[in-house]
Amino acid sequence: MGWSPEIHDILQATQEHEIEQRDLYDRPPSVFKPWTKGRVALLGDAIHAMMPNLGQGGCQAIEDASVIADKLEHISRRSEIEGVLSEYRDTRLTRSAAVQVRVITLTLTLTLILTLTLTLTLTLTLTRASPASRATSSSAASTRR
Ligand SMILES: Cc1cc2nc3c(=O)[nH]c(=O)nc-3n(C[C@H](O)[C@H](O)[C@H](O)COP(=O)(O)OP(=O)(O)OC[C@H]3O[C@@H](n4cnc5c(N)ncnc54)[C@H](O)[C@@H]3O)c2cc1C
């Protein structure tokens, strides 16, 4: 188990100054925002960015591209492009929004589990530490007397 040797090689070869911070952001489904304008359409992260927890962002971008390609294949005039791009948005909205909501739910659940685990660990640590600290302070008090 564990990472393959190639990954260890890359990690060891990476200099401190080469490491960059890339923040990740969750986005709500783009229900009210336009996906297309004229003959231009947004797809992938540009229209439904999501956290990588489910490994679905790239898959959703590929599904978008597949739907667009499929729809464009069946037209014969440029004037039809705008119409099929609107259809693309209607075809993809529910599916991509469902995946986004699943990712948001998973992120919130993991955050809740982590918070509960940390709170429980801290409470147990403090509870266990209390008798010892009480014993220490009472023995210090009896020494003073
Ligand atoms: C840590 C991590 C793990 C992931 N794991 C998975 C996984 O297991 N499975 C999965 O399906 N997805 C995964 N994803 C998500 C996936 O990488 C993205 O959802 C996917 O790459 C989105 O594709 P895209 O084409 O929409 O955008 P991008 O891949 O971001 O492509 C956009 C491109 O546009 C370029 N660009 C930006 N601005 C300009 C500009 N002004 N002019 C010209 N070019 C520009 C960028 O350089 C980039 O090359 C992961 C993401 C992260 C961060």
The pLDDT of residue 93: 95
What is the maximum span of the chain, computed from C-alpha positions, in angstroms?
99
The pLDDT of residue 1: 75
Closest CA to 45 of 62, 31, 22: 62
Residue owning the nearest CA to atom 25 of ligand 1: 44
The pLDDT of residue 136: 62
Measured distance CA(92)–CA(101) in Å, rounded: 14
Measured distance CA(106)–CA(87) in Å, rounded: 30
**Closest approach atom of ligand 1 to CA 45:** 26
Choose the residue to mutate in 35, 45, 48 for probing ligand 1, maximizing ligand atoms within 8 Å of C-beta: 45
Beta-sheet strands, E only, within 35-124: 36-37, 40-41
Rounded to the nearest angstrom, the distance between the alpha carbon of 95 and the centre of ligand 1 is: 19
Tens place of pLDDT per residue across the chain (145 aa):
789 999 999 999 999 999 999 888 878 899 999 999 999 999 999 999 998 888 999 999 999 999 999 999 999 999 999 999 999 999 999 999 999 999 889 888 998 999 999 999 999 999 888 765 566 656 655 666 5
> Does domain 22-104 fall into CATH 3.50.50.60?
yes
